[in-house]
Structure 1
Amino acid sequence: MIQPDKIEEIIYSSDLISRDLSWLKFNERVFDQILKDTRNIFEKFKFLAITASNLDEFFMIRVGSLYNYLDYDKVRVDYSGLREDAFKMKLMVECQNFHVRLQEHFLKELLPKTEEAGFILSNVKNLQPEEQQAIKEYFFKAVYPMLTPMVFDGYHTFPILMNKLLIFGVITINEGDKKDNRKLSFVQIPSNIPRFFELERENVMIFIPIEEVIREHIFSLFRNVNIESVNLFRITRNGDFTLEESEDMDSNFLEEVKRKLNERKTGRVVKIEIEEGYSKWMINLLKERWVINDDSIFRISRKSLMDFTGLWQMIGNKRFKEKIPSPPNPVPPLSYPDAATEDIFQVLKNKDILLHHPYNSIEPIMVLLEKAVDDPSVMAIKMTIYRLAKNSRIVGALLRAVENGKHVSVLFEVKARFDEENNMREAKRLQKAGCFVIYGVTNLKTHTKLMLIVKKDENQVTRYVHLGSGNYNEETSRIYTDIGLLTTNEVLANDVSEFFNVITGHSLPTTYKNLLTSPREMRKKLIEFIEEEAEHARKGLPSGIFIKLNSLEDSEFIYALYRASQAGVLIKLIIRGICCLRPGRMGLSENIEVLSIVGDFLEHSRIYHFHNNGNSRTYVGSADAMVRSFDKRLESLFRIETPILEKQLMNILAYNLKDNVNAYRMQEDGTYVSKQTESNEEPFNIHEKFFNLTPEMITDVKLID
């Protein structure tokens, strides 16, 4: 076994930073939002719930993937240089340390401040007699009928315990039995029972965790036996799977997805959270059953709370709806200031519209689609759909379009992680109505966001196109920063039409003009652009690379940036989440700066800008610089050539680099330091500044002096 100090030496010697360790650093930046004095307790609870949800997904997907290698004795060498066993040891140490930070901050800093904010987290014993009676009535009327004790012994098989549910492990003793008379039963708390029972007092709301309601009355489930111990725990299962390539993309494909969803519910256990004071006999039984070690067992104080994602019920309580500050109302796009009065069809014939969400509403996209649905001159609508809002206007509009006799083609990506069931349901609705539905493309995940509307006015056919970095989702468009382009540009319209033919048929594209696509050419072309910047630098010409992404992980792309840095190219990267590039290392990357923006909005847009000796190239789209984006997904990046729109994108990059409220600077060792304001410097918060942008403010924007 490698010693811990040797592990750190191996990690630091690598030119690349581990994807998983980098992700943990990202979640630390989310957690850091809780520490900001400017946020109230409700905002802090919101970010605590987000942090916990992120961690759940990390264990399901990334730790689950690691176990796929461990369980089947497959070799995996992480970017850190560590093999699978040593890397798991390092990863679990980091996860345990982070878990302790979360728990301690909740207990010591957040919980004591709840009463002054108007609410209390309480157990049953601390309630008044009449409140305890209300709890008792609630339990026996609403909760008791929902609970099912499941015993495990020599006569009963081990029950299926569900992913991310709260579970009681109850050890009972029957005095009439002979030796070894302990039995273990499980009581799962169904997910459709509210996380907290709510009581109102005159000036305060009381939230009683459902596990405390059940714990107080659990004896009613185990009559005429002695209860030795009651142990609350929660498990996280492996949710990582890869769909196998299938030639049959209809019913068989959907059945494959359904089967994999069931496997997600019963995949191998990768994490146990358990209350302190637990039965050692029970935990040893579970460890043996699930082949799990102590480093994957996370202990929680009885005074704390298991599963912070449940805090959403408190945050969303109608009594506190004003406590979470709402962002300002969206402003009109700079390129479409008269959005409320102008006919969008006519506008797009004359100019392009660049949308920057959430500062600009998604409404122009919805207006374009809904006008197209009811316009008799519109002949066809084609879309790619990755994630939708729960009550999506998109689906309603497409259903009406089919009813109105229009040709509607939709690629529904049913492999969109955690949205598979919703996407399958909505896709079937459209297909039943007569829409041509494609359920993904072979073994590739379609992540690109495209819409094409074909309209015939008299003898002229016009194609209206939307290309974007974000989903067609009215809900997330209010909290995710994304870029979208509405255009009738013939070059882009030809590219998008060609791309839809590739997706829906059996067509091999010719060269796109202003579209980069994967898995065909995206990595190759982007690296060519990087290498051209390096060549300019070697010739003493102006050069610069400015990129904004969610994640930077592809090693070929990273090493191309390293080579450009060594050639003298100025490189500034704004990477919200995972960054496997190591900045500021002498002889390797001293010309590379990496910032991360984490704040009120989730930074989701992707922008690639290359100075190109003054003949700039700027691309926007759905693709991060990741192996999966370049090799395993259908992705697209589209070029913005209109000078004023390109200036707007350059300004987005410039503002991100200027932010000193939400920004973190990445260090060579992979840690991050909050970017602080200088003594003579005003706070610059992009999540506020973009609401006040004017055309004049972007006229003279420069990324290179």
Structure 2
Amino acid sequence: MSAEIVENADAAPNEPFDVEPPYVPDDEAVSEIGEFDDRFLDRELSWLRFNQRVLELAEDDSLPLLERCRFLAIFTSNLDEFFMVRVAGLKRRIAAGVAVRAASGLMPREVLEQIWSTAHELTLRQSKVFTEEVLPGMAEQGIELLRWDALDRDEQKYCKRMFKERIFPVLTPLAVDPAHPFPYISGLSLNLAVLIRNPKTGKEHFARVKVPPIFSRFVPLGNQRFVPLEDVIGEHLNRLFPGMEILKVHTFRVTRNEDLEVEEDDAENLLAALEKELLRRRFGPPVRLEVEESIDDDVLELLVSELDISEPEVFRLPGPLDLRGLHGLADLPREELKYPAFVPTTHPRLAEVESAAPVDVFKSLRRHDVLLHHPYDSFSTSVQRFLEQAAADPHVLAIKQTLYRTSGDSPIIDALIDAAEAGKQVLVIVEIKARFDEQANIRWARKLEHAGCHVVYGLVGLKTHCKLSLVVRSEGDGIRRYAHVGTGNYNPKTSRMYEDLGLLTTNEQITEDVGHLFNNLSGWSRNASYDDLLVAPDSVRSGLVEAIHTEIGHHRAGRPARIRLKANSVVDEAIIDALYLASREGVPVELLVRGICSLRPGVPGLSENITVRSVLGRFLEHSRVFWFENGGEPQCWIGSADMMHRNLDRRVEVLVRLPDAHSLAEVAAVLDLAFDADTDAWVLGADGEWTRSQGEVHLQETLIERQRRRRGSAKNA
């Protein structure tokens, strides 16, 4: 579909063709696909390949230096979470004796061994690029991360004074002897293993000192020079152990199982159960031990023994450990070493009249729907303004909102509280089980409750992951509903870094569907049928499989047929098999997958017509898009659902069908650019390996330039 043809079109797209007879795969077609017993790539190993692509960005010397530094920090954070959740889950299944073969054909033990091998290789690559390229490159630019011995005398004096005044009072040395058992080592904490000797008795002792996380990971010394915090502590241990001889000091870090398991037999007890589980999280079993490569064997042996860690779970690395702290260096005010500054602008349909006052969002939406593309379109002047104006508008009767993750100082929360205090009916579906945001979401839930909002925690057994807002407004011609359906969280901070789509609409079918869904989430209503929404766990998988089958029918009838999917992850076997079936029938299938992809493209007789690409860059590609050529009358769905079991079976997810040709054209233009052979991307091979295409066009930079041109033309209009 050409974006130019429908650039100014606002009419609703035609209804889908009826394919007569409807295409239904026969048993033979299904069994032929089943004969390819290696057709699924392993999801865990595919995730590691995703983090490898992040690492390749850090290795890319064409990128600005501090952005490479940030990608090293992101690689570390990603791998931490992978071990805390995915590796921990594998170990738990093995220990419980419920290890079953994965769709890839691998047993959990085989997957675990490949994870250890690949993770060791990747972390060594990370250390290499950090020490051999990024560190020297920063030093050339006057940004120096130094070890203790490289500091000058004034800097060492400064550190000595800081240790005495600020750090020393916080430290708690923990000895290990018959009266002092080996201390509990909290997950992801940085620690010093200290071997000391009593000069009187000659007896040696082991002690652990935790590096306090309340201080900067890399201590600023002035003039953009830094030293690792553990070096400062390690150099002054004689103050912690007066009268003792310091024999050896080594840094180590433990990763623990930090996934949560909450039994939801009673929704009323969910908050209490979750808070109890959060306390347990701190004491999960270890799944990885990182140590500096210079560690003595006897100290390492003690750590391995006390932590009950196996040899493959030990990662010996050049120091310093825990490179998450590189975010602090990447944030330095050295704009010449970063991506050029980018400022989102207001969507043209929300800024049609130049005025000092903010645009009336409701007035704009009565004229036409608005498809937002963040971060290029400003979140604050669209979604945030929509909710803030709804809270302040005396004609608004009710606001209904889902919250999965939001920022610490969220204007969305403030707007909902303002609305409730103004007497409006405010319903908030808070997902308190959003992984690693549970504590924050519990706080928001209680804050909203105290302000008079109706707070609901979704449906028992399901995470509410959909991104929905509904505003009910009294107008001259009656009640009108306004809705926002998005692919990303209501988080003003991440909206500047995450690529997402969102539809603001007054379409009666969509807003009625959204209203029914909120009733399902807040009450005992059970409406599983919607006109313009697909809702998991009821209809997302089946709806998408049906759309794929319909595309096969169009292809068989000689009508235009093509499937384009954009997602974070593609794992679900039923959808992958449906895509294989489409490929075997000759339907072109194009996938844009940021993270995990279990589909194996380019396999003769199975997936010759499927290509898989991945785009990574300054923004995190996060939107989910499902495009079907539909015989020449394209259909496109956007929403919150990835193609994973947890999304399709254990979450409330929503896809909305774009209702107008203008929105379709905007999505078509982005997809055309993303799938263009000249666009820089990683391409997945049949062997599961990703290869960078090194195209001359960069998707995100091109979209930034388009936005800048749009802003310039608006100013000159």
Give the TM-score normalised by the residue count of structure 2: 0.90
Pair 1:85-2:100 in alignment: no
Determine if the alignment matches structure 1 residue 131 to structure 2 residue 148: no
Which string of whole-angstrom CA distances, capped at 9 and with x for unpartnered residues, describes residues 108-163 of structure 1? 11222222111211122222222211111111111111110111221122222111
Secondary structure of residue in 1 paired with 2:455: strand
The structural deviation recorded for 1:286 is 2.5
What's the CA shift for 1:323?
3.5
Task: Return the alpha-carbon distance in structure 2 between the equivalents of residues 381 and 227 of structure 1.
Answer: 63
Kept after mapping to 1: 8 A contact 2:58/2:129:
no
Deviation, 1:13, is: 6.7
Q: What CA deviation, in whole Å up to 9, does each residue of 1:523-580 have, x standing for no partner?
A: 0111011112123323433211011111101011101111111111110010111000
1:687 aligns with 2:701: yes
**Match of residue 282 from structure 1:** 299
Which residue of 559, 570, 584 corresponds with 1:552? 570
The structure-2 alpha-carbon separation of the partners of 1:292 and 1:393, relative to structure 1 and needing over 3 Å to count, comes to: same
Specify which of 293, 308, 319 is matched with residue 291 of structure 1: 308
**Could you say which residue in structure 2 is the equivalent of 1:220?**
239
1:155-209 residue CA offsets vs partner (Å, 9 max, x unmatched): 122222111111011122335558xx43221100121011122122xxx421011
Separation in 2 of the partners of 1:38 and 1:278? 35
Q: Deviations for 1:216-273, whole angstroms, at most 9, x for unmatched residues?
A: 1112212223333212100111112232222233xx2112111222222211111111
What is residue 309 of structure 1 aligned with on the other side?
324
Instruction: Give me the whole-angstrom Cα distance separating, in 2, the residues matched to 1:339 and 1:438.
Output: 39
Alignment partners' CA distance in 1, 2:437 and 2:360: 34
In structure 2, give the amino acid aligned to 1:314. Answer: L
- The aligned residue for residue 7 of structure 1 is none
Distance in 1 separating the partners of 2:265 and 2:677: 47
Q: State the alpha-carbon separation in 1 of the partners of residues 433 and 534 from structure 2.
A: 23
1:288 CA displacement: 2.6
Query: Does the CA-based 8 Å contact 1:60-1:236 persist in structure 2?
Result: yes
Distance 1:695 1:683 in 2: 17
State yes or no: 1:160 paired with 2:184: yes
1:199 lines up with 2:207 in the alignment? no
Counterpart selection for 1:188 from 210, 223, 235: 210
Q: Does 1:424 align with 2:442?
A: yes
2:227 match: 208
Instruction: Select which of 348, 364, 372 maps to 2:382.
Output: 364
Distance 1:274 1:340 in 2: 59
Note if 1:414 corresponds to 2:432. Answer: yes
8 Å CA contact 1:608–1:618 kept in 2: the answer is yes
Equivalent residue runs for 1:3-402 within 5 Å: 14-174=38-198, 181-200=203-222, 204-249=223-268, 252-301=269-318, 304-318=319-333, 320=334, 323-338=337-352, 341=355, 342-362=359-379, 363-402=381-420
SS at match of 2:675: helix
Say whether the 8 Å CA contact 1:332–1:339 is kept in structure 2: no
Alignment of 1:456 onto 2:463: no
Contact in 1 for aligned 2:55/2:75 (Cα 8 Å) = yes
Question: Structure 1 residues 129 and 690, CA, compared in 2 at 3 Å: closer, same or farther?
Answer: closer
Match of 1:618 in 2: 636
Partner of 1:528: 546
Task: Kindly indicate whether the alpha-carbon contact (under 8 Å) linking 2:64 and 2:339 is maintained by their aligned counterparts in 1.
Answer: no
Three-state SS of the structure 2 residue aligned to 1:425 is helix
- Is the contact between residue 593 and residue 666 of structure 1 (CA under 8 Å) also seen in structure 2? yes
In the TM superposition, residue 316 of structure 1 has moved relative to its aligned partner by 2.0
Q: Give the AA of the match of 2:365.
A: L
Structure 2: runs of 5 or more not aligned: 1-35, 711-717
SS at match of 1:658: coil
- Alpha-carbon distance in 2 for matches of 1:159, 1:663: 47
Corresponding letter in the other structure for 2:584? Q
Q: Give the length in aligned residue pairs.
A: 671
Please, which runs of 5 or more residues in structure 1 have no aligned partner? Answer: 1-11, 697-705
Q: Shift of the alpha carbon at 1:695?
A: 12
Deviates more, 1:441-450 or 1:343-352: 343-352
CA distance in 1, matches of 2:468, 2:455: 15
CA drift of 1:693 comes to: 5.8
Give the Cα–Cα distance (whole angstroms) in 2 for the partners of residues 144 and 125 of structure 1.
20
Counterpart-to-counterpart distance in 1, 2:604 and 2:554: 21
Q: Partner amino acid for 1:392?
A: S
- Per the alignment, residue 493 of structure 1 pairs with 511
What amino acid does structure 2 have at the position aligned with 1:306?
A: L
Equivalent residue for 2:659? 641
Instruction: Write the deviation string for residues 81-132 of structure 1: whole angstroms up to 9, x where unpaired.
Output: 1212222111100111111111111111122222211121112222222221
Greater shift, 269-278 or 652-661, is seen at 652-661
SS at match of 2:513: helix
Report if aligned partners of 1:551, 1:625 keep a CA contact under 8 Å in 2: yes
- 1:477 is aligned to 495
Deviation, structure 1 residue 35 = 2.4
> Partner of 1:266: helix, strand, or coil?
coil
Equivalents in 2 of 1:339, 1:37: separation in Å? 44
Q: What's the offset of the Cα at 1:694?
A: 11
User: Which deviates more from structure 2 when the two are superposed, residues 328-337 or residues 415-424?
Assistant: 328-337
Cα RMSD (Å): 1.9
1:339–1:364 Cα contact (<8 Å) kept: no
Aligned mates of 1:45, 1:661 — CA distance in 2: 24
Identity of aligned residues (%): 37
Alpha-carbon distance, 1:330 to partner: 2.0
Aligned partners of 2:350 and 2:382 also within 8 Å: no
Partners of 1:477 and 1:429 lie apart in 2 by 23
Contact 2:59/2:129 (<8 A) preserved:
no
The amino acid across from 2:424 in the alignment is K
Amino acid in structure 1 at the alignment position of 2:431: E
Q: Decide whether aligned partners of structure 1 residues 339 and 59 sit closer, same or farther in structure 2, where only a CA change above 3 A counts.
A: farther
Show the counterpart of 1:567: 585
Distance in 2, Cα, partners of 1:614 & 1:401: 45
SS at match of 1:278: coil
Look up the SS of the partner of 2:267 in the other structure. coil
Q: How far is 1:340 from its partner? A: 5.6
1:4 maps to which residue? Answer: none
Q: Pick which of 60-69 and 494-503 moved more.
A: 60-69
1:516 is aligned with what amino acid? L
Q: Secondary structure at the match of 1:380?
A: strand
With 71-80 and 552-561 compared, the bigger mean Cα shift is at: 71-80
The change in CA–CA distance for 1:448 and 1:327 in structure 2 (over 3 A counts) is farther
